[in-house]
């Protein structure tokens, strides 16, 4: 396959630092003419590789734009795989824009969003999942998420996908050989050899899928809505979890009327918490009714509803029973029996695992609640192997698994061709994750590992 690297490609330019003012701002060039264009802007004949060179940047008419450093990263060892130059100037949007304009006049083109990473991918410096991990790293909201994104950027997640692809490929090679030699005495589509291939592929798919789910969870987080009767202690619970007084707490019923959002982290798991207006028979005014409508709408989008119950006045959770008909269908609910200090009830977890006894105002039982939230989301916490991933990856892996299981069914029916077809679909789904698998790769593997002429 012909490489798309550099040949015939234009040179792109963009401001690499975030918009706004800062001590330093960086303009980045990538492409075959990057160093020539930068040299013109910096009044140099030639840039030295990997050396910081202090220069005055000038416009085409010789007027000074700014002064700063130039750094040249020659391809193919650069981020994009092309010649890359960074112009480090003062972090003024006006100056940086003037520098970009200068580079455009000297022959560069303004880069499209993500075009540097796209070139890194096209030049095989990064695969698709790694390129996405760069974006996840920049967007990381916690140290845990950043660490996970770094691992994915270094290829840890891609390697899990590759391992699954490899196992599927070996299985396909085996199945296709069995199809090609139907006259063999032994049935190649049953027995321990193919079973070993199947087991290996299934376990590797499982490992990759779990890693993707954890990674996607780490970036997407969990949407938790706190609901319940007025005065049950919803706002107190929100404040406890948030660690500060975000919501007004008062013994006056109907204090919270709007939705109140807080974003916190549980061991790196982003928790999007929403406090809502108390639910009750709609006898109140329009504002209250609108508050309740919003509360119910928010619950419909929740990963989990924490239904807060005042244990002192409602020890059996009748308020939830009364409300259950008006709760959005299918949304998972945890019964949070609050005010245990008042009710004289010990804190703890119920036998159904979906009931908790806590005291929001004293904080007793809050650890149980945090652990409960992680458990119900299947969050394993940040480990040495946690990687970043996206819903796209989870979805592709689920498709791969479905096709893999379908292949297993076809195998039972001795449908060699259909087995091979399902395995191909599974492998293509994985290939979408890394952007790597092409039919040529597969053909090469088949011919390379089998002695067809035998
Ligand atoms: N004793 C006790 N009082 C609580 C507890 N949680 C909340 N409260 C009190 O109950 C009242 C209503 O609390 P608030 O959080 O505003 O309830 P909301 O209407 O559900 O948001 C306030 O006076 C709180 O101080 C608790 O765990 N124990
Ligand atoms: Mg409230």
Secondary structure (DSSP) of 39-107? HHHTT-S-PPBT--EEEEEE-TTS-EEEEEEEEEE-TTSSSSSS-EEEEEEEE-HHHHHHHHHHHHHTT
Q: Assess whether the C-beta atom of 312 lies below 6 angstroms from ligand 1.
A: no
Whether the per-residue pLDDT at 150 is higher than 90: the answer is: yes
The DSSP code sequence of 113-150 is TTHHHHHHHHTTSS-HHHHHHHHHHHH--SHHHHHHHH
- Tens of pLDDT, residue by residue over 20-46, are 999 999 999 999 999 999 999 999 988
Highest mean pLDDT: which range of 124-138, 157-171, 406-420? 157-171
Number of compact structural domains in the chain? 3
For tokens 């105002």, the residue is: 361
Is residue 173 domain-shared with residue 319, that is, in the same domain?
no
Within-domain flag for 95: yes
Which residue segment(s) compose the domain that 33 sits in? 12-125
Average pLDDT score over residue span 380-387: 86
**Phi and psi for 201 in degrees, rounded to 5?**
-65, -45
Is residue 296 domain-shared with residue 268, that is, in the same domain?
yes
The CATH number for 370's domain is: 3.40.50.300
Is residue 292 domain-shared with residue 430, that is, in the same domain?
no
Q: How far is the CA of 236 from the centre of ligand 1 (A)?
A: 6
CA–CA separation, 281 vs 327, rounded Å?
Answer: 13
Quote helix, strand, coil % in the chain, to nearest 5.
45, 20, 35
Whether the per-residue pLDDT at 9 is higher than 90: the answer is: no
Q: Assess whether the C-beta atom of 240 lies below 6 angstroms from ligand 1.
A: no
Average pLDDT score over residue span 422-434: 92
Is residue 351 domain-shared with residue 428, that is, in the same domain?
no
Average pLDDT score over residue span 292-315: 94
Average pLDDT score over residue span 311-322: 95
Within-domain flag for 133: no
Within-domain flag for 454: no
Is residue 198 domain-shared with residue 250, that is, in the same domain?
no
Q: How far is the CA of 238 from the centre of ligand 2 (A)?
A: 9
Is residue 174 domain-shared with residue 287, that is, in the same domain?
no
Q: What CA–CA distances, in Å, run from 318 to 253, 311, 313?
A: 18, 10, 10
Q: In testing the pocket of ligand 1, which one of 361, 365, 368, 369 has its CB within 8 Å of the most ligand atoms?
A: 361
CA–CA separation, 123 vs 137, rounded Å?
Answer: 21
Is residue 178 domain-shared with residue 150, that is, in the same domain?
yes
Q: Which of 129-138, 255-264, 407-416, 435-444 has the lowest mean pLDDT?
A: 435-444
Within-domain flag for 138: no
Nearest CA to ligand 1 atom 6: 233
Average pLDDT score over residue span 177-197: 77
Contacts of 190 (CB under 8 A, 6+ apart): none
pLDDT tier, 201 (very low <50, low <70, confident <90, very high otherwise): very high
Widest Cα–Cα separation across the chain: 86
**Both tokens assigned to 69:** 């450093």
Whether the per-residue pLDDT at 368 is higher than 70: the answer is: yes
Contacts of 78 (CB under 8 A, 6+ apart): 30, 84, 125
Q: Which of 94-108, 239-253, 274-288 has the lowest mean pLDDT?
A: 274-288
For tokens 């012909």, the residue is: 2
Q: Assess whether the C-beta atom of 358 lies below 6 angstroms from ligand 1.
A: no
Is residue 335 domain-shared with residue 397, that is, in the same domain?
no
CA–CA separation, 373 vs 357, rounded Å?
Answer: 14
Q: Whose atoms come closest to the Cα of 311: which ligand?
A: 1
Atom of ligand 1 nearest to the CA of 359: 27
- Tens of pLDDT, residue by residue over 43-100, are 998 899 999 999 999 999 999 999 999 999 999 999 999 999 999 999 999 999 999 9
How is residue 411 annotated by DSSP? H
CA–CA separation, 248 vs 231, rounded Å?
Answer: 12
Whether the per-residue pLDDT at 3 is higher than 70: the answer is: no
| Residue where one domain finishes, among candidates 90, 125, 160 | 125
Is residue 154 domain-shared with residue 119, that is, in the same domain?
no
Q: Assess whether the C-beta atom of 159 lies below 6 angstroms from ligand 1.
A: no
CA–CA separation, 144 vs 265, rounded Å?
Answer: 10
Q: Assess whether the C-beta atom of 343 lies below 6 angstroms from ligand 1.
A: no
Q: How far is the CA of 427 from the centre of ligand 2 (A)?
A: 51
CA–CA separation, 357 vs 406, rounded Å?
Answer: 45
Nearest CA to ligand 1 atom 26: 339
Within-domain flag for 273: yes
Q: How far is the CA of 389 from the centre of ligand 1 (A)?
A: 39
Q: Can you list the positions of beta strands (E) in 318-371?
A: 333-338, 348-349, 355-357
**Radius of gyration of the chain measured on its C-alpha atoms:** 29
Nearest CA to ligand 1 atom 7: 233
Indicate the burial class of 281 (C-beta count within 10 angstroms; 0-12, 13-18, 19 or more).
Answer: exposed
- The strand pairing partners of 217, in sequence order, are none
Q: How far is the CA of 437 from the centre of ligand 2 (A)?
A: 53
Q: Whose atoms come closest to the Cα of 253: which ligand?
A: 1
Is residue 275 domain-shared with residue 319, that is, in the same domain?
yes
Per-residue pLDDT at 445 = 37
Q: How far is the CA of 387 from the centre of ligand 1 (A)?
A: 39
Within-domain flag for 27: yes
Whole-number average pLDDT of the chain: 88
Q: Assess whether the C-beta atom of 341 lies below 6 angstroms from ligand 1.
A: yes
Q: Assess whether the C-beta atom of 313 lies below 6 angstroms from ligand 1.
A: no
Q: Assess whether the C-beta atom of 254 lies below 6 angstroms from ligand 1.
A: no
Per-residue pLDDT at 451 = 28
Q: How far is the CA of 195 from the centre of ligand 1 (A)?
A: 59
Whether the per-residue pLDDT at 134 is higher than 90: the answer is: no
For tokens 């660690």, the residue is: 243
pLDDT tier, 183 (very low <50, low <70, confident <90, very high otherwise): low
Per-residue pLDDT at 7 = 39
Per-residue pLDDT at 355 = 97
- The strand pairing partners of 265, in sequence order, are 270
Whether the per-residue pLDDT at 184 is higher than 90: the answer is: no
- The strand pairing partners of 49, in sequence order, are 72
Is residue 92 domain-shared with residue 26, that is, in the same domain?
yes
Q: How far is the CA of 277 from the centre of ligand 1 (A)?
A: 13
The CATH number for 48's domain is: 3.30.1360.120
Q: Assess whether the C-beta atom of 339 lies below 6 angstroms from ligand 1.
A: yes
Is residue 365 domain-shared with residue 246, that is, in the same domain?
yes
Average pLDDT score over residue span 441-446: 35
The CATH number for 191's domain is: 1.20.120.430
Q: Assess whether the C-beta atom of 248 lies below 6 angstroms from ligand 1.
A: no
Contact of 347 with 359, CB cutoff 8 Å? yes
Whether the per-residue pLDDT at 257 is higher than 90: the answer is: no
């Amino acid at each position: 396959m012909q490489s798309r690297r550099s040949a015939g490609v234009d040179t792109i330019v963009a401001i690499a630092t975030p918009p706004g003012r800062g001590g330093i701002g960086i303009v980045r060039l990538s492409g075959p003419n990057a160093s020539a264009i930068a040299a013109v802007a910096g009044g140099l004949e030639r840039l030295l590789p990997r050396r910081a060179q202090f220069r005055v940047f000038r416009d085409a008419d010789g007027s000074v734009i700014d002064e700063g450093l130039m750094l040249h990263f020659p391809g193919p060892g650069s981020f994009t795989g092309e010649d890359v130059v960074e112009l480090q100037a003062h972090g003024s949007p006006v100056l940086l824009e003037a520098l970009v304009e200068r580079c455009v006049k000297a022959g560069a083109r303004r880069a499209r969003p993500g075009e540097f990473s796209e070139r890194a991918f096209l030049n095989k410096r990064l695969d698709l999942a790694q390129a996405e991990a760069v974006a996840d790293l920049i967007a990381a909201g916690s140290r845990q998420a950043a660490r996970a994104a770094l691992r994915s950027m270094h290829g840890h997640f891609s390697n899990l996908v590759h391992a699954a692809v490899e196992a599927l490929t070996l299985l396909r090679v085996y199945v296709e050989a069995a199809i090609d030699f139907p006259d063999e005495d032994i049935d190649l589509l049953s027995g321990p050899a193919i079973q070993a291939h199947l087991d290996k592929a299934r376990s590797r798919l499982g490992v990759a899928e779990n890693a993707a789910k954890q990674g996607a969870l780490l970036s997407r987080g969990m949407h938790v809505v706190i609901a319940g009767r007025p005065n049950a202690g919803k706002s107190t619970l929100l404040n406890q979890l948030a660690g500060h007084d975000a919501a007004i707490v008062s013994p006056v019923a109907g204090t919270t009327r709007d939705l109140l959002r807080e974003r916190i982290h549980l061991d790196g798991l982003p928790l999007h918490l929403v406090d809502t207006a108390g639910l009750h028979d709609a006898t109140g005014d329009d504002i209250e009714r609108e508050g309740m409508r919003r509360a119910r709408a928010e619950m419909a989008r929740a990963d989990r509803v924490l239904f807060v119950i005042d244990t002192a006045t409602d020890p059996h959770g009748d308020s939830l029973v009364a409300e259950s008909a008006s709760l959005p269908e299918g949304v998972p609910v945890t019964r949070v029996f609050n005010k245990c200090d008042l009710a004289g009830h010990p804190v703890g977890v119920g036998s159904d695992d979906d009931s908790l006894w806590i005291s929001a105002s004293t904080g007793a039982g809050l650890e149980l609640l945090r652990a409960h939230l992680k458990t119900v989301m299947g969050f394993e916490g940040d480990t040495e192997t946690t990687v970043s991933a996206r819903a796209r990856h989870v979805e592709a892996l689920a498709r791969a698994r479905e096709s893999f299981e379908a292949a297993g069914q076809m195998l039972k029916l001795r449908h060699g061709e259909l087995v091979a077809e399902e395995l191909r679909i599974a492998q293509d789904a994985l290939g979408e994750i890394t952007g790597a698998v092409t039919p040529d790769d597969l053909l090469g593997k088949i011919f390379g590992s089998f002695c067809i002429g035998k």
